[in-house]
Amino acid sequence: MIIKKGLQKGTWFNLTDKAKFLIRDFPFTELSLLKSTELDNNFTISTKMTDYCLAGWEGLEDEDGAKFEYNKENKAYILNYYPEVREFIAEKISELKKVKTPNVKKTSKK
C-alpha cells in the first residue's frame, strides 16, 4: 500500500479553466469531534465535512470582476448558494478517499 503524505494540506482541483479549489481529506479523527446527535444526521455530517474539506480557492470573482476572497463568510456563501460547487467538492473528497493498493499475487502451497 502506498501512503500519501501531506493529505491534510489538500490538493488543488480545477472546476473551470480559471476556478480551482483546494480540497483536503476529512480525517477520521474529526468524526470524534461531532456530537452524538450529529452522527445520526447525514446532512449535518455532510455539511461539516464539506466545510472542513474546502480549504481554499483561486480564480473566483464577484459580479463586479473583483477577486472573491477565500474567507469564512465567502466560504459559507459559496456552500449555501452554489450546489454545483458542493457537488464538485463531494466528488473530489470521494476521489481523495480512494486508496490504491498494489496487486498481490496469491500463491498456493503445495
Closest CA to 43 of 11, 7, 79: 79
User: Does some domain include residue 53?
Assistant: yes
For residue 100, name the pLDDT band (cuts at 50, 70, 90): very low
Answer whether residue 74 is part of any domain.
Answer: yes
Question: What are the tens digits of pLDDT across the range 3-58?
Answer: 666 656 789 999 999 999 999 887 777 666 666 655 566 666 677 778 889 999 99
Is residue 16 included in any domain, yes or no? yes
Note whether residue 3 is domain-resident.
no
2 in any annotated domain? no
Single pTM value for the model = 0.71
Distance CA 8, CA 28 (A): 12
| 106 inside domain | no
Structural domain total, the chain: 1
- Residue 103: inside a domain: no
Task: State how far the Cα of 80 lies from the Cα of 47, in Å rounded to an integer.
Answer: 10
Residue 1 included in any domain = no
Q: Which domain holds residue 69?
A: 11-97
